[in-house]
Structure 1
């Protein structure tokens, strides 16, 4: 069964800042997605050390060393679901939806706001896991998705680093 962990907005100069259930999720996931703003190469490398497969993009606060190593956007497919990943897009939900639509995505993963949110728009799901390290007035967050037993999509949750449930959601796969 596929397990995907999703993070964003680490904003660290020393490491990944993962703890509790967030650290467990990163270590146990088949795939980890990070929507940017590691800030430092040390934070990026710390994530890579914890994860078997890391798919990340750079954010607006990332150092030149991080920007040189990561794309601004990327697309990946896991468990029959197509993910489009970016740090942010101008135009809010409309801009993110257009970004996802142009890439045939079922889920658009973004960061930047530090606000954990799930918004179901007409043709895709917009997912911002929040920031597990610097919530900036919001609940700290990260997301975990697991394949549904019948292979029809994913069941997801946004959680706080201590494991407290913030929100549950489902993703139908189309790939």
Structure 2
């Protein structure tokens, strides 16, 4: 299982609780789409996760930006993820970013709105913000790999499902 988070916006720590904290601890890998805000939040995440693959966001401190890239590609469980905090051009820009990295899944943040969008090339997932939803439903995502494909599920911090997408391998 792969857990996906974004937009922590904390000066204290990871702010994880409930099912979100369990997912981070139990995941084979954790992807974070930026805006930890502080080095304390980044380090707290690193303390909870065996494998953290993160990018920095626009609200991250210089200490976080110096440690993380703007974008990255991660391959786990036969799924290729293109990760960025945000891309100009909305869904089209994210799709082009994913295509340039031959991604199955494009992970982004910034809007604080949990969203799943299926395109011909990839699934666009924004896990939202579990800690600072700013009027949106708080969220995070989990990805389960299967022999015939994968499933991405958006969840609220208590584990309540928000939305899901299944994708088969072609």
State the alpha-carbon separation in 1 of the partners of residues 56 and 149 from structure 2.
Answer: 27
Task: Quote the offset at 1:172 in angstroms.
Answer: 3.4
Residues 100 and 124 in structure 1, CA contact (< 8 A), matched pair in contact too: yes
State the alpha-carbon separation in 2 of the partners of residues 173 and 48 from structure 1.
Answer: 31
Match of 2:5 in 1: 7
**Taking structure 2 as the reference length, what is the TM-score of the superposition?**
0.98
Task: Quote the offset at 1:173 in angstroms.
Answer: 4.3
1:162 maps to 2:162: no
Deviation track 1:56-110 (CA, whole Å, cap 9, x = no partner) reads 0000000000000000000011111110000000000010000000110111000
Match of 1:111 in 2: 109
Match of 1:45 in 2: 43
State the alpha-carbon separation in 2 of the partners of residues 142 and 170 from structure 1.
Answer: 17
State the alpha-carbon separation in 1 of the partners of residues 169 and 40 from structure 2.
Answer: 34
2:65 to 61, 64, 67: 67
Q: For 2:81, what is the secondary structure of its paired residue?
A: strand
Task: Quote the offset at 1:15 in angstroms.
Answer: 0.2
Match of 2:148 in 1: 152
Structure 1 residue runs of 4 or more that deviate by more than 2 Å after TM superposition: 171-174
State the alpha-carbon separation in 1 of the partners of residues 148 and 85 from structure 2.
Answer: 27
Task: Quote the offset at 1:171 in angstroms.
Answer: 3.1
Aligned length: 170
State the alpha-carbon separation in 2 of the partners of residues 47 and 171 from structure 1.
Answer: 28
Structure 2 stretches lacking a partner, 5+ long = none
State the alpha-carbon separation in 2 of the partners of residues 76 and 114 from structure 1.
Answer: 22
2:22 to 21, 24, 38: 24
Q: Which moved more, 1:25-34 or 1:162-171?
A: 162-171
**Taking structure 1 as the reference length, what is the TM-score of the superposition?**
0.95
Residues 79 and 154 in structure 1, CA contact (< 8 A), matched pair in contact too: no
Q: Which moved more, 1:165-174 or 1:73-82?
A: 165-174
